Amino acid sequence: MTATTRFAPSPTGRLHVGNLRTALHNWLLAKHHGGRFLLRIDDTDAERSREEFVDAIRHDLAWLGIVPDGEERQSARFDLYEREFARLAEQGRVYRCYETPQELELKRKVQLGRGLPPIYDRAALSLTEADHAAKAAAGDKPHWRFLLDRETPVEWVDGIRGPQHFDPAQMSDPVIRRADGSWLYMLPSVIDDIDMGITDVLRGEDHVSNTATQMQMFGALGSSPPRFAHEALLVGSEGKLSKRLGSLGIDTLREAGIEPHALVALLARLGTSDPVDASLDAGALAAGFDLSHFGRAPARFDEEELHRLNAAVVHAMSFSQAAACLPEGMDEAAWLAIRPNLAHVGEAADWWQVVTGPVDAPDFDDETRAFLAQAGEALASLAWSGEVWRDLVAVLKETSGRKGKDLFQPLRQALTGRDHGPEMAALLPLIGRDQALVRLESAVRAIQ
């Protein structure tokens, strides 16, 4: 099977995690089958679409490592929409309507009150050409609806949800064009899918009813529909739909120090039965991507899990991968020493400050100050090497009688100003002999 998929965002705002998951899954589906992944910018809404958001979409996808094999802009395809719209008009599959939103809402309330489905009653189909002429003379402009075939059931086998059945007699003819001539989503999307050769449409389950309508549009335009699959929507870690998920964008995640690989690892498997594995690269994720592994249950997005994954990714990063984000002067030895204590690369600057100083040691009691003075004397007499911490500890165990936390904790506090952190065996050589002696002497003098 070959596959051509697409991601079709509207540039009316920044992408959020739900959009990103859709883009990633379509990209993985295409790559799994050795196919193509296309970016389609749905910018038919000229009033709300902004070029800055188009640039942000491209930038965010690139940050995740998602590289489209082609790009289209709906705003450049209006001539195509006009031609296909004219074909539908010749077939009698589109018709003019004039009801206001208030009139339509009143009709819906009446239908619901009678126990009927709240669908459009097709009153506009009874208008004559004279009626249309009169409305035009009065300055009334029509909006346009697509005429559904209410005799033929709509059926397809969904790639995730299985067999789907819709009764078109219970469906409303969709508005496809506004009175000002602008396009709504439904028809241009179908025209584009046909023209761009889209074979697979993977999107959220909130689009299932749209798919039922669009299946008839494909037929009216003389084309077989693509394969459709609808995945469960994201919910928060508490198991409920979260408003935060609707605004949690890549810019927010980047500012929080999330690595793109961690986000890809989580979103790639979200909603499937496959375990999340931060060690898998994009090729491995694509190779294992399988729609049959998706479930119907809501896909739970857990920010805590994302941060845990991020830590795993950071702990596996080489110096060359992290170097561009590290503070000036921090070398590979420092990175390897500090890396195990990081959840985000940006935290390296805090630990590098521990190395370069200054640090604030706590106030020690007299007994501890005496021990630290002893440590300074011992350190001054030792040969400086990569094993200096081991040698210092060995001397102090013998001369002070201290061991365990009583030995290690005061040294760590005096040398780093922290109660915990990277291994001192790695930190002390980075701090350096002179600076270490200064810190020990300072800790001894602190309350004298």
153-171 mean pLDDT? 97
Q: Where on the phi/psi map is residue 357: left (φ > 0), alpha (ψ -120 to 50), or beta?
A: left
Task: Pull the structure tokens for residue 15.
Answer: 């992408």
pLDDT attached to residue 245: 73
Q: What number of residues does the chain have?
A: 448
Q: pLDDT digit string (tens) for 107-116?
A: 999 999 999 9
- State the alpha helices, DSSP H only, in 231-270: 250-255, 260-269
On the question of pLDDT at 142 being above 60, the answer is yes
Q: pLDDT digit string (tens) for 286-316?
A: 999 999 999 999 999 999 999 999 999 999 9
pLDDT attached to residue 251: 87
Nearest to 402 by CA among 374, 365, 436, 364: 374
Q: pLDDT digit string (tens) for 413-437?
A: 999 999 999 999 999 999 999 999 9
How many Cα atoms are found within 13 Å in the side-chain-facing hemisphere of 148? 26
CA distance 185 to 302: 31
CB 143 within 8 A of CB 135: no
How many Cα atoms are found within 13 Å in the side-chain-facing hemisphere of 434? 1
Which DSSP symbol is given to 298? P
Structural domains of the chain, with CATH: 1-70+232-316 (3.40.50.620), 80-177 (3.90.800.10), 319-355 (no CATH), 357-445 (1.10.10.350)
CA distance 222 to 271: 34
pTM, two decimals, is 0.89
Longest dimension (CA), the chain: 109
Q: pLDDT digit string (tens) for 11-47?
A: 999 999 999 999 999 999 999 999 999 999 999 998 9
Environment class of residue 266 by beta-carbon count within 10 Å: exposed (0-12), middle (13-18) or buried (19+)?
A: buried
CA distances from 101 to 108, 277, 428 (A): 11, 49, 73
Query: 327 Cβ partners below 8 Å, 6+ apart?
Result: 348, 349, 352
Instruction: Annotate 333-354 with DSSP letters as a single string.
Output: HHHHHHGGG-SSGGGHHHHHHH
Residue 220 — very low, low, confident or very high, per pLDDT cuts 50/70/90? very high
CB 6 within 8 A of CB 39: yes
Can you tell me whether residue 153 is helix, strand or coil? coil
